[in-house]
Structure formats: structure tokens, C-alpha cells
Amino acid sequence: MPDAPKRPATPGAPTPPTPTDLHIRHGATTTPDHTLAIDPELAGWSHSGLRIVALEPGGRHTLTAGDSEWIVLPLEGGCTVRVGDETLRLLGRDSVFASVTDFAYVPRDAQAQISSDAGGRFALAGAKCERRLPARYGPASEVPVESRGSGDCARQVRNFASADAFACDKLIAVEVITPGGNWSSYPPHKHDEHRPGVEAELEEIYYFEIDGPNGFGYQRVSPSRAGGADVLAEVRSGDAVLVPDGWHGPSIAQPGHDMYYLNVMAGPGQTREWRICFHPDHTEGYR
């Protein structure tokens, strides 16, 4: 598979990450069941994962949760998620650019059956965790939507599973819509150290979709330490960027093409929280 991430050959002696490791192009991790499959082992870290499932009309998919908690998030279309005695019906949406969506939480050590009468595409955002919480439905009407930034840095943040919006053990997940020509994930920020009350250590996945044919965007990750993550990637629909560490941002949308990204985060901290530090060279006028 071209551009598949390359992991260190010697356990316990990792090499510094390279742009090829961290920019995962559409199709590079396709499996018989997933159009995108990123697990912690592939990413070379300990918690965060993401899978994308495409179902034909009448299609079904079995999600075996294992030691991870999951959120089933419709990207396009609706579905039914059955977990034990729970049946969670998701209305979904026409596209990620159309609206927020309802979603389903699947606990660790469970098996979920995902089915779709009309077909669609569904993100499975996951994180290795310790506690087993109940399966639950997340209504679209309860998703906090935030307008962040202004001018050419304005964007919309959909905090469907932020740390203060929806209960999970480890998983944090949000969606961002960046209007064409705008910057988001700005100022550059990081969360790669455990500093109580200041910064929380979180692994992060960016998954992208671009509105309209031939659209693209750019994602920057710059090092916060010697040998750290260093990426400048042209991203298109279906691409992902892994952020194990480093200052991430800006995310730049091509003029005329709105950009969507799904952020999936988790880390080793005992407290589930999103605490970040902004890059000191780029905060004037934005904090």
C-alpha cells in the first residue's frame, strides 16, 4: 500500500517520526471492512484510534469494541446501532457540511451491530480505556456548537464529545468546519506534556473532508522538541494526519472549498481534560 505509515523496526528504540509516517493519504490503510483504519499500534502510540466504514444500502458492520470505547458518528447517511439490548437509531445527515449529527456511544468489551437501510459512511472514533460506561445515544440537539475566531480565522466547532459535553472514559472528539480561504487550529497549540492545570498529554488524529471536487487544504505540525513531529501536508478528502506531539496548526482551507476535520484525542492522564498551550510566537491578537 503506498504511503502506509512505517513503524520503528526495533521495539523500544523508536526513530523520529517523518512526514510519511504522519500524513496518511486516502486509501493507504484500507481494509476489507474500512476505508480508513488507524489503531494505536499503527500510529505508534497508546490510546487514540479511528476507522471509517462505508455501507451499501442494507449493509451491516460488526464493531467489536475490545479494550476501547467508541463513538459511531455518521458522516453521510443514517444507521441503527445495536449494543446488547440497546437499539440506537441515528438519523445522521446528508454530509458533514450540512449539519451536526446524532451519534452513539459503544462501551469497551461490547459488540455492536451497525446497519443502514439507505447506506452511508460512518466514523468510528475510539480510545483504549479502563472504565466500561453504558451504551448511550447522543442527540444532535444537545451538541454544543461554538463559533471560534474571527475574520479569516473564523470557524465552527462542534463539541459533540468534548471533555465537558459528553461522558467518556478517555475519548475526546470534536468536529471543525473551516470556511474556504480561512485558517483554523490557530494559533498553533500543543498538548504533549502532562503539566497539571496547564497542559494535558493527548494523542490526536485529524481526519479531513473537503467540500467540492478537486478541493484540498494544508495541515502544519511543527516540532515542540528535538526530533519531534514536523509535517506540512496537502490534505484531501479521506486523508488523516497523526499528531503524537508538536505544535499543530494552522489548518488551511483552499479558497472556495470549505474544509471539515474530525479530531480524535485520548491520552494517559487520569483526568479526561483538554488543556492546551499556544505557541508563544503566534498569539498576539488571537488570545
Instruction: Give the domain ranges of the chain.
Output: 19-278
Q: State the pLDDT at residue 286.
A: 53
Q: What is the pLDDT of residues 225-234, one digit of tens each?
A: 999 999 999 9
User: Are 263 and 73 a contacting pair, CB within 8 Å?
Assistant: no
State how far the Cα of 232 lies from the Cα of 225, in Å rounded to an integer.
17
CATH 2.60.120.10 fits 19-278, yes or no: yes
Q: Span 68-95, mean pLDDT?
A: 98
Q: What is the pLDDT of residues 136-175, one digit of tens each?
A: 999 999 999 999 999 999 999 999 999 999 999 999 999 9
Q: Span 224-249, mean pLDDT?
A: 96
User: Are 212 and 184 a contacting pair, CB within 8 Å?
Assistant: no
Instruction: Find where cell 492522564 sits.
Output: 269
User: Are 15 and 8 a contacting pair, CB within 8 Å?
Assistant: yes
How high does pLDDT run on average in the chain? 92
